[in-house]
Structure 1
Amino acid sequence: MLSEENERKYKLRVELGEILRRNREAAGLTQLQLSRAIGLPGSRIVTHYERAKSPIPPRKWRPIAKALGMKPFPWVMKCAAAYCPDIYVQLFLNTDPSEASRLLNGLHASND
């Protein structure tokens, strides 16, 4: 049986997988097409992301948003809440959203 905190995290990850699947389908992409668009060799890992069986690594958050035509900031917020709750609290709950968005864009630009 999962602890209350682990149950909350699991539910967030399941929700994230459902959002990923719905947006992928809305974009008209197969799991394989999305996998290739984000630099993965096969569709299996996207299947695992969608079913909350594997965590979505932070380095894939923005590429997924881009490949699916999603606004990156809300997607990254949801990913951070699910996978990095301590960072999520520091970045998003204690910061003005426009400031947090600028910070994320600056970090992304420095990694390009």
Structure 2
Amino acid sequence: MYAHHQRLDSEAVLELRREGGRYLKELREARGLSQRQLAQMVGAEYYTFISQLETGRGRIPPDRYRAWADALGVAPRDLVRNVMRFYDPITHEILFGEEPQPGR
């Protein structure tokens, strides 16, 4: 089983997760939602889960992407594309990055 999901050093991964958390917090605040309200809307058992995500200590479970998109008022595709930058940057770059140049 492949255990290393990203070929980045741990500090780079942590910084990406923190950036992702800031992105989620900005979306939540733009909707005027508290962490408790968002937790209720996305089916999170504890509002502290929202806090953990917003500080980069976790990630949205993929089976909850649609609920999060609905709660945050964004298209599911846009939410997934954006969080993928923080959760799986290698795949994001392959799918959405610059087109490879000849000879690369």
TM-score (norm 2): 0.71
Work out which of the residue numbers 25, 29, 45 in structure 1 matches 2:29: 25
TM-score (norm 1): 0.67
Amino acid at match of 2:37: Q
Indicate conservation of the 8 Å contact 1:65/1:71, yes or no: yes
**Identity over aligned pairs, percent:** 32
Question: How far apart are residue 88 of structure 1 and its match?
Answer: 2.7
Which residue of structure 1 lines up, in the alignment, with residue 4 of structure 2? none
Which residue of structure 2 lines up, in the alignment, with residue 58 of structure 1? 62
- After superposition, give the CA deviation of every residue in 1:7-56 in whole Å (9 maximum; x if it has no partner): 33222211111111111111111111111111112201001000111222
Amino acid at match of 2:58: S
Radius of gyration: which is bigger? 2
Alignment of 1:44 onto 2:48: yes
Q: CA RMSD in A?
A: 2.4
Rounded Cα–Cα distance in structure 2 between residues aligned with 1:44 and 1:58: 19
Of 82-91 and 42-51, the range deviating more from structure 2: 82-91
Partner SS for 1:32: helix
Of 3-12 and 37-46, the range deviating more from structure 2: 3-12
Indicate conservation of the 8 Å contact 1:61/1:79, yes or no: no
Work out which of the residue numbers 69, 73, 95 in structure 2 matches 1:69: 73
Rounded Cα–Cα distance in structure 2 between residues aligned with 1:54 and 1:4: 17
Runs of 4+ in 1 over 4 A off after TM superposition: none
Rounded Cα–Cα distance in structure 1 between residues aligned with 2:72 and 2:8: 32
Alignment of 1:8 onto 2:28: no
